[in-house]
A and B are shown apart, each in its own frame.
Chain A
Amino acid sequence: MAKIPYAVPTLDKLPTVPALKPGAMSELKSYVAVAAHQQPLGFPGELVENWEQAAVAKMGELLGKYKSLRVYLDICVKCGACTDKCHYFLGSGDPKNMPVARQDLMRDIYRYYFTPTGKTLGALVGAKPWTRERLDDWYNYFHQCSQCRRCSLFCPYGIDTAEISMAAREIMDSIGLGQKYCNEIIGKVHKIGNNLGLPEPALVNTLEGLEEDVLDATGHAVKFPLDVEGADVLFVTPSADFFAEPHVDGLIGYAKVFHQMGLSWTMSSYASEAGNFGMFIGNYEQMRKIALRIREAAIQLKVKRIVFGECGHAWRVAYAFLNSLAGPFDFLDPRYPVPQHIMEVTRGAILSGAIKLDASANADKVVTVHDSCNIARATRMGPEAGSQFEYPRFVLQSACPKFIDMHPDATRQRTFCCGGGGGLLTDELIDIRIKGAKPRVEALRDVVEQHGVTHMASMCAICKSQFTKVLPYYGYDMGMVQSVHQLVSNAILLGGNS
């Protein structure tokens, strides 16, 4: 059991709404980016002198560029429907972690500088001018939002706090108040090609090592190809898959699926990252620049299809944004959607008989699944709405004899964020990460106690990293967390390929 440096919440029955604890999280601040992280992205190295005016000017620019921001800052009626929906509020009780209150941090400033009522009536409508304290609140609380959009699902107008927090982060970047975690990582992608800063030789080494491991374990020469020109499939996966646990077991699973299907595939050392932290900071240009690496790799390697590995926000950017950011993809094979999710490929291969799974390999496990927020509420995996829930479940039920779903209020479109998404997966935010995981762990505890669930499958690199770190604080073993394709890897029958 891990040492407990912070107050870990006591688990409740779902759904429990905490009493307000004003200021509970007000001091929790992620590290601010220094000039070395800011300047490569074109942001000021430190807080600019006239930041109040600069921030207002940037907000005005964004109001003209984003319909979401324009509409959502105006139309909230403060009905409170969202107030008990955010995992960070449910875990911390801090009222500024209620979605509407988080939005109001921006809305109050917007009203003061941009609306006739705010300019004339001031506090009566909640309008507030910039102060250093309010900017600090922005920094702290807009980095306690994982942009999971559970609030938007429940809002009668669909107001999306993610859109607000993205805009807030973009405004803060533009005045020199960036977040170290996100901006340092984006710099690494531009420079090296992936979030972890793994250079090509390290990748080659890792993949060769994996080939040897799989050969030793199975007797089959499963390949992990890199930069193979003329391959059919460009496979893009989060760089955590190259070494972290249980991510890498998922990577082995993808490779076995491709191997058994007889698909020609390759990864790219230039586009060695599925994740796109440009989304977290709400910056279209950064997001586009990162996405273009994938387009360039696809052209260079002359592939016919693009497939993405298990990652939540990466799949949102890939599924929902890639065509806008880096399309059109008319040079790829039009018979396949661009891009595809590995779950589509694996499901299709199971259905067609191209791969066979022996579920008894996972007979020692009772498995549940954590729907990743970005996959659940921002994407599909197939032609039908809801395929983002059905495809992973089909794959899991094919690979595991015992599968149990968690409570309906914590799964599918109502799923809770793992607590580490949206640019919060950094050590200095561990306090809010633990608290934000509370609703998920409550739902997990429920199926552990009712149905003897032993493992929780995940399809996102951030979820996997977050849960392996945070579950021990709640008394659960980090080994409970499995990659979906790790379970496939256990069950897949290799050899005998016609």
Chain B
Amino acid sequence: MTGLSVFYAALLYVAAAVLVAGLAFKIRQYWTTPAPLKIAVTPAPTTQAGAYMRVAREAALFESLFYSNRWLWIFAMAFHAGLALVLVRHLRYFINPVPELIALVQPLGVYGGMAMVGGLAVLLGRRFVIDRVRYITRPSDVLMLLLLIGIGISGYGMKFLNHTDIVAVKAFIMGLYVFDIRELPGEPPLLAHLFMVALLMIVFPFSKLLHAPGVFFSPTRNQADDPREKRHLAPWAAKLEG
């Protein structure tokens, strides 16, 4: 067992713990904070089931963005859909044996990665080119994009540049499940890739990446438009009625 393997095992344990605990904390916070008034942006679904469908369309199709900014929608979709394919492709490192469906979509993941990095590059470029977007950009917005691009490029580095022994990588990951630290191959693209992924997991619950769980808690989207039909009262507002 090398020091490198121990370091990466520890890093990934910490990253996973921070991600899970941090997200659990934030989701609980979003869940339990009351929304005292009905603020759905109308026209809105008049049933709760309809409102959940609206949220599902926002999360899966970026519906509002589609009507808001078509070019941004295209590149945001390229990035997110690409990322989704890449994540599915990576499941083979985490599941044994690999389900047939996941084996089948492996080639798609490669194109997904290209869409992801391409989309991210455009999203990065517009932060410098469009004056309005440049104005609202903070250093962390640029760093986040660079981190994601770095993850993508280091991933391709393993495939095309500095071929990695992925069987050993899988053995390392499967070992983490049972607290058995196995040997991690030492190729630089792999180490860079894993390091940046761990960093992303750690910053997730503390950054704007919270938009992923947050979109499900947005009252303007997830509320049914039924205030005349049903009385809506937050616990703290009920106390005012004495």
Q: Which residues of A contact B (CB under 8 A)?
A: 17, 19-20, 63-68, 70-72, 74-85, 95, 98, 100-101, 104, 115-117, 121, 123-126, 149, 152-160, 163, 284-285, 288, 319-321, 323-324, 327-328, 337-339, 376-380, 383-386, 388-389, 413
Contacts and interface: CB of A to CB of B under 8 A. Distances in A.
The 4 closest A-B pairs by CB, nearest first: A75-B214, A158-B220, A154-B68, A385-B43
B136 A101 contact: yes
B138 A125 contact: yes
Given A74-B214, A376-B42, A156 B65 contact: yes
A81 B58 contact: no
Contacts of A323: 227-228, 230-232
A14 to B, nearest CB: 15
A158 B36 contact: no
B76 to A, nearest CB: 7
Interface in B170-218: 203, 206-208, 210-211, 214-215, 217-218
A484 B68 CA distance: 30
Interface string B213-242: 011011111000101111111101100100
B165 interface: no
Contacts of B233: 324
Contacts of B137: 78
Contact of B30 (A65, A67, A100, A379): A67
Contacts of B210: 74-75
A375 to B, nearest CB: 9
Given A76-B211, A79-B72, A385-B44, A68 B39 contact: yes
Given A157-B221, A413-B42, A328 B215 contact: no
Contacts of B2: none
Nearest to B58: A156
Contacts of B135: 20, 95, 98, 101
A385 B227 contact: no
B237 A83 contact: no
A157 B215 contact: yes
Interface stretch (B81-89, B113-121, B125-133, B153-161): B125-133
Nearest to A339: B228
A95 B214 CA distance: 26
Contact of B208 (A74, A95, A155): A74
B132 A385 contact: no
B139 interface: yes
Interface string B60-71: 001011011100
A53 B215 CA distance: 31
B228 A337 contact: yes
A95 B135 CA distance: 8
Contacts of A71: 30, 33, 214, 217-219
B45 interface: yes
A74 B220 CA distance: 15
A336 to B, nearest CB: 10
Nearest to B43: A385
A81 B219 CA distance: 19
A65 B36 contact: yes
Contacts of B40: 378
B35 A68 contact: yes
Interface string B16-46: 0000000000100110011111111111111
5 contacts: A65-B33, A70-B33, A101-B135, A156-B62, A156-B76
B35 A67 contact: yes
A160 B131 CA distance: 23
A452 to B, nearest CB: 30
A19 B39 contact: no
B96 interface: no
Nearest to A17: B132
Contact of B207 (A19, A117, A158): A117
